[in-house]
Structure 1
Amino acid sequence: MENRSTMMALAATGICAIFAACGGADGSVSGGGTGGATATGAGAGAGSGTGTGSETGSGTSSETGYGPDEPGGTNAGSSTGTGEGAGGGASCAGETSTAELVPLDLYIMLDASGSMEDPLPGGFTKWNAVTEALEAFFTDAQSVGLGVGLQYFPLPDEDVPEQCSSNAQCGDNGPCALRVCHDSFSTRVEICVTDADCADGDTCVDLGVCSRNGDLCADVDERCTDGGGTCWKVTRSTCANPDSCVVGDYATPAVPIEPLDAGRAEVLIRSIAQKDPVGGTPTAGALSGALAQARAHAEANPTHRVVAVLATDGMPTECTPKDADGLAALAAEAVSGTPSISTFVIGVFDGDDDGAQTTMDRIAEGGGTESAFFIDTNEDVTQAFLDALSAIRGKSLACEYQVPAPSSGQTLDYGTLNVQHTPSNGGTPSTIFYVANEASCDAAAGGWYYDVDPTTGGTPTKIVMCPATCTRFQEGGQVQLAVGCKTEIPPVN
């Protein structure tokens, strides 16, 4: 969107989840803790009540070693007990423990460019509507415990002079805003140096300011409209692109990522209240910074799921790349990295200006979230933006679970864990097959894998659902982890 800094200078889804930690096999884990509880909303569930269970039966199973697609851990080997092993009617006995969804953290990169002050039907500005939705989300009971951090874009480039009288003084942030395209001036300010910078047939002329009311004008020495006086030539102005493209500026949060409670929500709300939208849209710098901060936070909190949320109302005007493919590549690099960082996009636009929806969708697709939440300014922007945030919270929460901690003095056998799901309609429970890694996910059947492959000697911290399984889990139901029976893998065709 247009650079308002120049003008101003001149002007959950909740998933019910239960872990069943079953023991009794050599090297397996007997989970302890409270049972029968559910985990909903943004935080990990805290339950009450005791959950011990036992089943009697006869028979033994001997399982020697694991195949190449099975998650054999350091204790993988033979086991004895009442279970029948993979593919059978497993009957493990043990205690149940409360499920814990992986803690979710959002780093929100919020567009605070000048165009966010554009009015909406009904008198609100886009800034009013979006920030009202953010405040409602921060204070929503389902957001309690959700980690949230916040930064804005654009941020000023500290090396840019406050005023300029020549293009040379602005360097790469120029030109100095001393000339504008004449014919377009009545609808938008376009800074130029020569006629070649303007649309065909338009001319680059000196910028002026009305002597009486201070309005900008483009007909120097002529009379301004509405009694504004004479249009005087501007000799000192501001650099046309004063905004930062430095990734580190945007990677430093205005409000650091911390779990939401009433006090933290108030900190975020106060930060927003102190922000005045102004400037252009340096999308590449802002997105790169958001991904860098999300990655750093994820590295410091390896048991958390951390995602970036880019909320914008404009096409890129500053920083490179500006094209959809280039921005999508930034997001794709982050989602394929370690730790993996997904990018959600919320776009607020007056229709599909300049291919806005395609650009926003490409960034989201690159960031592993399929498509952007695209909000038309003719709808209820506040409600639509709040719905988008709630959907992001739900989509992120349904797909990753914490690896259960073993009992004191024991080591978890990663080859004896199974994921089971019971639909919300009370249908028959099903076992989700282990698929080793994301690349092995079946597009239709789904599956699950550890965030770190235990066969490489690493220590997993998360149980991750494949996309198809994640979609199923978002519809609700119960998710159980059964420990003690050989992990089930897809049958060989």
Structure 2
Amino acid sequence: MRHPSLHHVPLACLLGLAAAGLHGACAPDSGIDGSMSPAEGAGPGGDLDSGGDPEPDAGLLGDAPAEVPLDPDAACGLVTEEAVIVPLNLYIMMDKSSSMTGDQWESAKAGLTAFVNGARFAGVRVALRFFPRDADAAPACDQFAYMTPLVPFGPLPDNAPAIIETIEAESPDGLSTPIYPALGGAILMGSEVAKNHPGQASAVLLVTDGQPQGPADRCGAVDPEDPAAIAALARAGADGVNGLPPVRTFVIGLPGVDQRIAHQIAAAGGTDAAVLVGATNTAAEFQNALAKVTGQALPCELEIPSQVAGGQVSFRDVNVLFALDGAPQEVLPQSPGCDGPGWRYDDPDRPTALTLCPATCEAARSASAARIQILLGCETVIR
């Protein structure tokens, strides 16, 4: 009997990460101490779309076949179930300083609108806020004033109308570019979300076209315009602070950005380098940059199926069915050493998750769509 067909869904609906809390030192006067619990929005998860029923075939794993071929229709298979994933929470902190006026702002609006309306990242939970914030009673350097997003976290595409409505109502009128408190607040919020939703991954995306300016000569003992101080915030978030889960910082640099500073912040935030947008077709390039960052932010771990965790099925009778970009499904072999495509258990003695090996993870993140199921009951194919 044929197993239920694989569902064809965006990569965002397939890959997940159990975020682990790590201790780290707080940057001087950073405000990242986890002492505030802000209100956050929530929304329903996205549904998976049904796909076709492809036959198994070769090709996905190239010339590195598994030791034992396995037909996904094998009689040993007790059940084939969809992989259970953990959501990604992405907090977009977007520059609205006066340098963003004109075509720059219109291009940013168009790119963001196209991104949130797209189907590729359905299920990713996105929140949005702008900086500098409008005048209020909070001190200019207050990171906590940037914690709560203007558009609360909610899954795409459900949250797209609220995001589009908010950016349409906004205009670039800020007289400074206070990256220091804005980034600090976003990291605080990302850590708080991950803390309140164990197992969910959180990341911050800083979008700017300039360099740090303001909001004051000093924020406590820190020069808020010092790139090293801002990088220290990003590093503290990536390392985890006060026992909170780590939050990586991604950076998209729009035309005019100080590229050296943008790369410095991204590297400190655990994301290697900023994604730079050119001036030729800013809207399309910004949309592509948003997609690239979100793809990189997606983690590559899957939850242990309940039948396995509950002891009804042995850990030695688990197989992963995997396909990219509409290709036929294949059995992805277990590769304990991850010396090529495959998957492994996070802990061989006490598994809590199935982890895609780096080569497979990178291929999945680069794909426009991925499909995955877990086949239970057949002896695990091991590379």
Q: 1:472 matched to which residue of 2?
A: 363
**Matches for 1:22-37 after TM superposition, within 5 Å:** 35-37=5-7
2:135 is equivalent to residue 135 of structure 1: no
Per-residue CA deviations over 1:430-483 (Å, capped at 9, x if unaligned) read 524246xxxxx77x7786554xx5857xx84x5444544321223446545455
Whether the 8 Å CA contact 1:34–1:47 is kept in 2: the answer is no
The residue type paired with residue 46 of structure 1 is: L
Q: How far does residue 271 in structure 1 lie from its aligned partner after superposition?
A: 1.6
2:254 is equivalent to residue 348 of structure 1: yes
The residue type paired with residue 281 of structure 1 is: T
The 1-side partners of 2:157 and 2:249 are apart by 24
Of the candidates 148, 164, 167, which is equivalent to residue 272 of structure 1?
167
The 1-side partners of 2:280 and 2:344 are apart by 38
Bigger radius of gyration, 1 or 2? 1
Of the candidates 43, 66, 78, which is equivalent to residue 94 of structure 1?
78
**Matches for 1:31-180 after TM superposition, within 5 Å:** 35-40=5-10, 42-43=12-13, 46=48, 93-117=77-101, 119=102, 124=103, 126-156=104-134, 158-159=136-137
Q: 1:365 matched to which residue of 2?
A: 267
SS at match of 1:142: coil
Per-residue CA deviations over 1:342-379 (Å, capped at 9, x if unaligned) read 222111133xx6xx212212222222222211113x32
The 2-side partners of 1:421 and 1:50 are apart by 14
The 1-side partners of 2:344 and 2:235 are apart by 22
Q: 2:233 matched to which residue of 1?
A: 330
Shift of the 433–93 alpha-carbon distance from structure 1 to 2, 3 Å rule, reads same
Query: Which stretch shows the higher mean deviation, 410-419 or 147-156?
Result: 410-419
Q: How many residues align?
A: 320
The residue type paired with residue 282 of structure 1 is: P
Q: 1:396 matched to which residue of 2?
A: 297
**Matches for 1:174-253 after TM superposition, within 5 Å:** 244-253=140-149
TM-score by length of 2: 0.69
The 2-side partners of 1:340 and 1:487 are apart by 33
Q: How far does residue 156 in structure 1 lie from its aligned partner after superposition?
A: 4.8
The residue type paired with residue 470 of structure 1 is: C
Shift of the 370–105 alpha-carbon distance from structure 1 to 2, 3 Å rule, reads same
Q: How far does residue 330 in structure 1 lie from its aligned partner after superposition?
A: 2.3
Of the candidates 183, 196, 206, which is equivalent to residue 300 of structure 1?
196
The 1-side partners of 2:250 and 2:93 are apart by 10
The 2-side partners of 1:108 and 1:131 are apart by 13
Q: How far does residue 324 in structure 1 lie from its aligned partner after superposition?
A: 3.7
Of the candidates 379, 385, 389, which is equivalent to residue 286 of structure 2?
385
Structure 1: segments with no counterpart, 5+ residues: 1-19, 21-32, 52-85, 161-242, 436-440
SS at match of 1:141: coil
The 2-side partners of 1:375 and 1:342 are apart by 20
The residue type paired with residue 39 of structure 1 is: V
Higher RCO, 1 vs 2 (CA within 8 Å, ≥6 residues apart): 2
2:191 is equivalent to residue 288 of structure 1: no
The 2-side partners of 1:422 and 1:97 are apart by 15
The sequence identity of aligned pairs, in percent, is 32
Shift of the 466–153 alpha-carbon distance from structure 1 to 2, 3 Å rule, reads farther
Q: How far does residue 130 in structure 1 lie from its aligned partner after superposition?
A: 0.7
SS at match of 1:362: helix
The 1-side partners of 2:4 and 2:113 are apart by 34
TM-score by length of 1: 0.55
The 2-side partners of 1:432 and 1:362 are apart by 37
The residue type paired with residue 48 of structure 2 is: A
The 2-side partners of 1:49 and 1:479 are apart by 11
The residue type paired with residue 346 of structure 1 is: I
